[in-house]
Amino acid sequence: MIRALGAVLVYFVMLGSWVAVGLFIVIAPGRFGNLVNESFGLFPAVGARDWGKKLFLRLVGLGLLAFAARFVWGIRRLVWPGA
């Protein structure tokens, strides 16, 4: 029982991380883009009028949220196979 609780805790932490990052990207794409730029240099700086970069980042955030929803759906099918 304790081992299963540990596995469930790991899955909840992963799910929470995906949802938190996805929501952060959707809500504040400029901040996230500049955070990635300043921390790693992987994404160009996002200015106030860079709508294309913000749109791209919002789509990435929506993709993370969709992945989290698919993850929840898969776990639900494992726990309740007939539902």
pLDDT, tens digit (0-9, with 9 covering 90-100), for 34-73: 999 999 999 899 999 999 999 999 999 999 999 999 999 9
Provide the residue ranges of all domains of the chain, joining segments of one domain with +: 2-79
Query: Among 24, 12, 32, 18, which residue's Cα sits nearest to residue 65?
Result: 18
pLDDT digits (tens, 9 = 90+) for 23-34: 999 999 999 999
Query: Does the pLDDT at position 82 exceed 80?
Result: no
Tokens of 71: 């993850």
Query: Among 78, 73, 60, which residue's Cα sits nearest to residue 23?
Result: 60
25 class by beta-carbon count within 10 Å (0-12 exposed, 13-18 middle, 19+ buried) = buried
Check residue 29 and give its pLDDT: 96
Instruction: Please check whether residue 57 is in contact with residue 34, taking contact to mean a CB–CB distance below 8 angstroms.
Output: no
Instruction: Please check whether residue 32 is in contact with residue 25, taking contact to mean a CB–CB distance below 8 angstroms.
Output: yes
